[in-house]
Every structure is written in structure tokens, then in C-alpha cells.
Amino acid sequence: MSLSSASHVYDPPAEDAVVPSGALHHPCEGQELGSGSGTPSMVQYTPAEDAMMHSGVLCHPRKDPELVGSTLLTLLFTWELSEASVEYLTEPFTWSSSGQLSNTVYHPLEEYPDLCTLTVASGEISADVNPITNRFYLKKHYVDALAAFVGSVSTTAQRWYSHIQRNGFHVPVPLPLCEYPGANFQRHFKHHNTKVRIMADVEIFLQHGYLCRGIWRTPMSLESSEDWNEMGYLCLQRPFWNHGPEHDFLLISVEYAVPFDHPFPWFSAPAYGYPGFYYQYRDEKYYEEQAFLEALVVVDPQQESIPLLTKSYKVVEKFLGPGPFFCARNPPISVFPLMNPDVPGALESARINPPLDPLLTTLALAPPQMVQSMARRKYGQRPRPPHLPSKGGFIMFRDGTLVNDDAINSYIDVLKMFVCPTVHVFNTFFFSCLLDGFNKVATWHKDLCHPVFTHMEQIIVPIHLKSQSHWATISIDFKRHIVTYMDSIFLPSTFEFVMEIMRKYLADLAALEMCSFDLEAWTFIGSKDTSPQQTGTVDCGVFLIANIRNCAGIQPWKVLHPTEVPSARLQFMVDVVWGVIDYPWGYDHALQSIFLLHSPPAFILPDEPDYIHVPHPALPCPVPKIMPTPMPAVTTVTPSGRNEQPSPQQCSWGDITENEGHDLIWNAWLRRIMVVLDHHVRVKNKDATPLAWYLRAHWRGKARGVYDWDFDWQEHSHMWTISHSQPGDDHLLHCGSLRDAGLLPSDQIIFTSRWEASQWMLKSNPQSEE
């Protein structure tokens, strides 16, 4: 038996040669193993267990927590070791190069209260609780078992299974409440000073078994302890496909974190074929940034479909980027995106029809944890942006799912940052509340420009029809006096119902605003032509989002064709993850940046000198033209207190032409303002600040999604403010709103450009012209 003859760090007791048949293995493997099938088992299985294991359906942790809980694997998933635990150890803590842990007691991270509770509540794990520190300690043999298992992962599951059974290491604890594999790591990395990490996500191994079912045998690539360095990090020393043709599938799914300043020789060496990447954010302290890889590596011993595999390899290249990923051509390798284990036959179908659009297919099949890891990749340990939907909302972006309010509202939250202030998008609860009476929604209009009927251009209302569980959209155009009903499954009855409510709403709104309202002047439009019609039964939420985008004037204006729904779902999710809805480098770039690629997207870096201005289509709303008058022939005007530090864009006023000056000003100054505003909008949750809308509307072609989390308003406010403001100045109208919002001291004003500042200076001090 090749598996047991491997040199393992930890030698289980001699009885381990007795392998319980069928445990965690597909029966067809027993035939190859030979000795495994006939030997008497030390373990008594219940008939149900036995049947399940022999049926080839390995237990899935989420579906069969009891079955999974009876393995060591669960425990491995649960317990991790941290530096925080070291100080409570009674003996020095070491992790030998051989992978042995040589200590007596450990306790789990205290940050896992739920896990502790789970474990203790079961009463079957002999964890010691220190009454003073209220910490949990594990017995040595648990730790040994754990260490040895992790140190030599390829120790077959049978051996460990029997060993555990014999030694009473029975942990019938349900799988900890983790949303995705590696959730523990996520929490774990709050302590990036952690010295010892066991970097095998054991649920992954369970997933191996589950994902590959009868095909998978064992993750042989992690066979020896050489794959683990003394720090406990998993490092794949060799290309993982060099294990001979006998393995059909090998799922490489490793999560790890790399503190950026850590010298990991194996990490930077491409020869190791390390399937990962790391994330550097502007040379700054995003050490906690994590890297993930989820891909299925398929070794095809029969070499039956070399063209397909080659094609797939290209897919991999795109998927993983040209970075450290290293792939041998012989034997031919193909890598598929991680399959969703819940989709029966996903693996087979992907094998038959290799994904044409890898990203799309990945996402279509992606388990929710992958989607979440996208968000984690983006945001790391930083505060969770409020617009991100919950897990349930994320799932809604997957193809073939119903769309819920969380997803739509998240999208609207993002969208609202990019539409001009005269367009307002209500969230999905507006219409439901409106059904209960106008009073319920009267306060919702606080953030609008008043009076609404003259100052607003458009109000967009997503509609949820509960009885039909359906989404539709209404756009109220105040300029043209048109109410448009957009429904991807248009029904005249629904249209009449909704429009009746909207008529009443408009009348009530007019009453609230105390302005006259003439219903006759309004047109109510609704037909199958106002919205593309859906073909499926689950996609109306996607059409809703597409319609809202179009109504709000997001470029490019695009009618969503039913066949494009999957890609639209993908795009909408990407939008939500990034918090931007258009991309200066193009959508492909944004996608690649999210999917494990080399560098952070440049458009989240506000101050890059090589920032490229991408011309943006005209704004859909009338925005005041900026400074059509020629530049003043003044070379020395410097707003007092502005930032004296020369920036790459800075040059003297005499040297630049009008247009150049205009661009420079916008690029250099308004961008900074946006950064600050963005920061403030975020910090103060003042998304409705009129100035923010105003500037966003101006800026949205240029500074989309310019986020700077560490920007200090106090520190930089002097850059574009001048004391002694003159209230009422035309240029300074928007300063008032900023001041109202509490963002600007009363004696300071804000300029959107140096030119504006100089104009103001000239105006206020005419003598300086001479």
C-alpha cells in the first residue's frame, strides 16, 4: 500500500496497518489498494454510515455535520495556534522542521468563542478550561494528532480515522459555523503577528473528497513534510503534478497569508510553482492582505484531449495571471475553476465542455465563498464598506438564482455614488412602504433637491411585487413629465396597479412640496418595449438593475439582452465588490484585478502620477460648464495656504494653455477633493451630501471609485481652502452645502480649481492685479 509506506513524520500505532474499509474512500479505490478492502475493520460503522461511504458519496461537511464531526478533520479545521497562545503554554513551543509540535497544551484562539462553545458543549472533547483565564487547553495527544496530521497531510484518512477511533478521539462536533472554508483564517489574520500557523485548511481536504468524489484519491502533492516549512507554512516544493499519472484529479486549494515584509524564499521563486499571489497595496501596510487560490488541477493520464487541455491551460493562465503560477506541459495539465460541489455533474460537464469564458464560468459555478473571497481580497481587514451585501446578497448574483433586496440595494448604494444629484434612486423598500401610505415615505425625501418637481430631474423606484415575487422599475422624469414603467415581464394589469399608486404618489408629493400638480400633464408609459423582456424565470432582478443603470444615465447605455444575463450578473457583482460602476481601464481589467491577478487595480490608487484621464461621455444631466473664459494672465497667484509641495502635474501658470490648465486642474485638484470627499462621505455616512453629488457628477468620468481610506481631512484641508470666504459668491455656492454638512469650517471656502481660486483672489483683492 503505497500510501502507508510513505515516510511520515508521525507514526501512528502499529495497529494502524488495519485500515477500515471504505472510510473516506471510494470503494473503487479499495480494489487498487488491495489490502484495504479485505482487512477487518476496527471501526464499527452504523449501517447508514457504511452505506454512505460505500455509495461513493463522501460526506459533505455542510450537509452531514455529524458524519464529518466524527473525523479528526473537523478538529483540524477548528483549532489553530497563535502567538497569543504561546504565552499561556507551560512549555516552550516549537514547531520542529519535521512538522512535529512539541508541546503539551494549547488553546484555541479566544476570538473563536463560537467554536469554543461548540466544542465544550459537546462534552466529548476533553478540553481543559482554565478558570482564571477562561481559556481552553488541548491535551497533548490531540495536539500531536493534529500536528502530525498537518505535518504529513497525505497520511491517509483511513489510518487517522482508525487511530482516532481507537484512541477515543471522537469529536462529534458539528462543523464550526463558518461561512466559507478559511473563515477561520480570516479571523486568524487579525493577528498578523501570529508565529505559527497551520496553513492547511482542512475543510478543503474534505472538499477534495467531496468535490472529486469517486475520482479523487488523496492530495498526494502534500505527501511529505518537505511541503511544510518550519514555520508551519505550506509550501509546495515541487510542481504538484509531478506525482505520476495515477492521480486523476488533484485539487489545489490552499489559503495562506503572506505578510508582505516576510522573506519567503519559496514564495518568490517561480520554480516552485507556487499557485498563488500576494497583494501589495502601494507599499503600504496591507500585510493582512490575503491570497487565495481555488482551482482544480486535472492531470489527465490518458492524454485523451490534449487540445482541450492546452486550451484550458490558457484559461488557467488567464485565470491565475502570468505570475508565479508555473505549469508543466508534460504531462498535460488542465486547470478548471473550482466547481460548485452542489451542482451535480459540474465536474464532468466542465471536463466535457471546457469553459469558454473562464471568468464567467468560474463565477457561474463559483461557490459563495469564492465570491466572498473576492471581497476579502479587495478589502482585506479594512472596515467592511457599508455597500457590500451580506453573504445572502452575494449569492444572489450567481447565475440562476433569484435576486433579493440585499443585492439590489447594494447595487443601488454603489450606483448612487455615481449618478448626478438631480437623479435619485430609492431603495427597494420605498415602494413597499408607499403601499402602506405616503406618510411612511414622506421622510425619505429629505435628501432630494427641493422642490422636487422643479429641481429634481428623475426619481427611480425599484418595485418589488410581493404577490408575484417580481421586480420591476419605475422612472419618474420630472423634466418631461413622464412616468415609465419597466418590467421584464410586462403585464397590463400590473402596470395599471402600479401606475395608480404612482399617480397618488405624485399628488401626495406635490402636496408635501406645496406645489401645484396637474395630472393631465403627465404621461404614464408602460409596455413591453420599455424594458427588455426576460426569457428565464429568475432574472428579473438583473433586468431591474440594468434598467436602473440605464435610467440613471450610466454609460454605456445598454439594453440587456436575455442571453447576456449571466455576464450581467457577473458585472453587477463585480461592481458591488469594487464599489464602482465604471472602469477607466475597462471592465476586463477590473475583472482580472479581482481574479487573483498581479497588481491592485490602478484606479483605486488616487495619487498615481501616471493616472490616465479617460474621456468620459457627456453627462446625462445639465452640469454647469466649467470656466469657459480664458485663463487670466497671472503667473503668481497662489491661494494662501495651498499645498506648497510640488506635484508632478504642477507647473507655472504662464506656461500652460487654457485647455491644459483645465485638465491639469481637474486632474490634480479636483481629484484630491474627491478623495477627501469620498473619505468624508464614507466616514460620516453622508452619502447624500449635495456637494458630494455635485462633485461626483463632475468627476465621475475621472475619479471613479477613488478611495483613500487613510486620507486625513484635517491634514490636507488647507490645500484648497482659503480663509475669509465671501458668502454668496457664485463660485462658492457649493461651499455652503459643504459647510452645512459640517465638513468645512465656516471661514473657509473650497475651490475646485486653482483657476477658480485665482479668480476669487482677483475679485476680492483687485489691487493684486496691478
Closer to another protein at the Cβ: 195 or 382?
A: 382
Closer to another protein at the Cβ: 466 or 625?
A: 466
Q: Which three cell numbers stand for residue 217?
A: 484519491
Residue 362, C-beta contacts closer than 8 angstroms, at least 6 positions apart: 319, 337, 338, 355, 370, 595
> What CA dihedral angle connects 297, 300, 301 and 306, to 10 degrees?
-140
Give me the amino acid identity at 727. Answer: P
User: Taking the complex as a whole, how short is the minimal distance between the CB of residue 306 and another protein, in angstroms?
Assistant: 42
Q: Which three cell numbers stand for residue 631?
A: 485663463
Give contact residues for another protein (rule: CB under 8 A).
Answer: 384, 386, 390, 392, 402-406, 409, 413, 426-430, 432-433, 440-441, 443-444, 446-447, 464-466, 468-471, 489, 534, 536-541, 684-686
User: Taking the complex as a whole, how short is the minimal distance between the CB of residue 121 and another protein, in angstroms?
Assistant: 19
User: Taking the complex as a whole, how short is the minimal distance between the CB of residue 386 and another protein, in angstroms?
Assistant: 6
Closer to another protein at the Cβ: 291 or 472?
A: 472
Give me the amino acid identity at 257. Answer: A
Residues in the chain, overall count:
770
Contact 718, 640 (CB under 8 A): no
User: Taking the complex as a whole, how short is the minimal distance between the CB of residue 404 and another protein, in angstroms?
Assistant: 4
**Angle between the N-to-C axes of helices 358-365 and 368-379, in degrees from 0 to 180, rounded to the nearest 10:** 110
Closer to another protein at the Cβ: 470 or 589?
A: 470
- CA separation for the pair 669, 702 (Å, rounded): 12
User: Taking the complex as a whole, how short is the minimal distance between the CB of residue 253 and another protein, in angstroms?
Assistant: 27
CA distance to 224, 226, 505, per residue, from 221 (Å): 8, 10, 65
User: Taking the complex as a whole, how short is the minimal distance between the CB of residue 65 and another protein, in angstroms?
Assistant: 18
Closer to another protein at the Cβ: 370 or 741?
A: 741
CB atoms within 10 A of CB 645: 7
Closer to another protein at the Cβ: 446 or 724?
A: 446
Closer to another protein at the Cβ: 46 or 537?
A: 537
> What CA dihedral angle connects 58, 60, 66 and 69, to 10 degrees?
90
User: Taking the complex as a whole, how short is the minimal distance between the CB of residue 461 and another protein, in angstroms?
Assistant: 11
Tell me which residue of 639, 667, 645 sits closest to 749, measured CA to CA. 639
Closer to another protein at the Cβ: 62 or 470?
A: 470
Closer to another protein at the Cβ: 233 or 572?
A: 572
Q: Which three cell numbers stand for residue 194?
A: 501570529
User: Taking the complex as a whole, how short is the minimal distance between the CB of residue 544 and another protein, in angstroms?
Assistant: 8
Tell me which residue of 23, 33, 19 sits closest to 58, measured CA to CA. 23
- Bridging pattern class, strands 333-337 and 295-299: antiparallel
Residue that is written with C-alpha cell 429634481 in the block: 456
CA distance to 397, 644, 742, 745, per residue, from 673 (Å): 33, 16, 15, 15
User: Taking the complex as a whole, how short is the minimal distance between the CB of residue 686 and another protein, in angstroms?
Assistant: 8
Which alpha helices (DSSP H) does 579-707 contain, by range? Answer: 587-594, 658-665, 671-684, 690-699
